[in-house]
Structure 1
Amino acid sequence: MEIEKYICEGRPRLLLFFCGWSASPALFHSLQAEPDQDIWLVSDYRNLTFDADLSAYQSVTLLAWSLGVWVAEQLFADESSVHWERKIAINGTGCPVHDTEGIPEAIFRGTLENLTPDGIRRFNRRMCGGKERLAVWEAISPRSIDEISDELRYLFQAIQARKEKPADFTWDQAIVGLSDRIFPTANQLTHWQRRNVRIKEVQAPHDPFGLWKQWNELVTA
């Protein structure tokens, strides 16, 4: 797991963002921070080791996207010392390999079996939902296929190993894209309704970040 401390100036508040699978933190550098807030970007889930201390911050806003939602739940389910300000899940669920509450298992396995350059390009087109956001992805140096293949295989195995013991973690809000072609919208709604989490629906594909220019726009969405 990689933690990019993109802004780390000893500010009193922290925005902690968990990227989705295969995503480079550079994709999110354009989102502007608030003046009193540091920004850390977490990615590369080839293990579940979060080697960072959050205790210095007066408050922490947790944002997690896609498979990063599940990762964050695993890491912080038993964490009581963090002073959470907000916890927001974005286009993901706590049951990421699930026929009615996540990505259907056959589709997840199909992605695993199709980790080629062409397969990744098709995945990115579905994820971005349009040329403008896809161009942002294509302008960033991609992570290697070997690396993201290892990441997805590790996540699949970890999710399967823990599916009978869901993490006990409470989110304040779930942002759900109405045009999500990765985590089906209906499955997200089913999951968050079951958990009684407040839902904010947005007209967006799986990658909704073209909607916002500043992090605080997302937090107040």
Structure 2
Amino acid sequence: MKSCWLQRKGSKDCLLFMSGWGMGPEPFSEVDFGLADVLMVFDYRSMDSSELFNLLPAGNLHLLAWSMGVWAASWLSQHDPRFAALRFSSSTAIGGTLSPIDNRCGIPVQDFEEMLGSFSPAKQESFYRSMFDCDEEAERFLLCKPCRSVELLWDELENLYKLCRSSSSARLPDIYNRRIITTRDRIFPARNQVRAWGKENCVLGALPHFPFYSQERRIIIPTQEV
């Protein structure tokens, strides 16, 4: 995995942003994450978190995990003692689950396998567009889409598939104290997200899968309240 700073203001608060599959820093360059410094994690071709810990500062940490990053953060908490030792002031999951490739609690298995089996530039763009329910937001994303090749994205997709479907991911810990359901999601069905977390344990947000351009996005940034 790779890590980079999205914003660094010398704040006492650091938001650790575990992003989803196929991402890079480019689409987030103008997203308002509040007053905190923001350290982004992406590219899950490898789950080696050394680069993250080379950058992670001391201070007040918040976790924001989105899409496949919800699973990735939980996976690290189980498999990486350094990550498990981190203490987060808040931990938010949005638009993802601990079982991300699952017919009842994640992306339907057939959908994921079809994506993996026939991945192409056209499939990549179709996926990116499916993250939105607003053409204007989709076009904004595509104008600054991640600078990553189709080959690298396929490698990442394959690695996530193998890890998520392995027995070691069967019972990952729930490390979150906020779980936001993206009810307009066309990637992770909202009903599967609710089923995964339980109705009493989550908050519904009228958001697409990629919620960061939405006018309602402030509800997902915990450091807005710090």
TM-score normalised according to structure 1 size: 0.88
* Structure 1: tracts of 5 or more residues without a match: none
8 Å CA contact 1:90, 1:174 repeated in 2? yes
Matched residue pairs, number? 218
- Change beyond 3 A, Cα 1:2–1:212: farther
Contact in 2 for aligned 1:76/1:169 (Cα 8 Å)? no
More helix by share: 2
Show the counterpart of 1:205: 208
Residue in 1 that maps onto 2:86: 82
Give ranges in structure 2 of 5+ residues lacking alignment: none
Superposition pairs for residues 1-221 of structure 1, below 5 Å?
1-8=1-8, 10-35=10-35, 37-51=36-50, 52-53=52-53, 56-77=57-78, 79-142=83-146, 143-162=148-167, 165-193=170-198, 198-212=201-215, 218-219=221-222
Runs of 4+ in 1 over 6 A off after TM superposition: 213-216
Report the aligned-residue RMSD: 2.4
In structure 2, how many angstroms separate the alpha carbons of the residues matched to 1:179 and 1:152?
23
Q: SS of the residue aligned with 2:165?
A: helix
Q: CA deviation at 1:215?
A: 6.3
Residues 97-146 of structure 1 deviation map (CA, whole Å, 9 limit, x = unaligned):
11100011111101112211111122122211221111122111442101
Residue pair 1:13, 1:57 contacting (<8 A) in 2 also:
no
Deviations 1:182-212 (A, max 9, x none): 1111000000118x6x312111211111225
Give a deviation string over 1:58-99, Cα, whole Å, max 9, x none.
321101111111111111235453221111111000001111
* Percent of aligned positions that are identical: 28
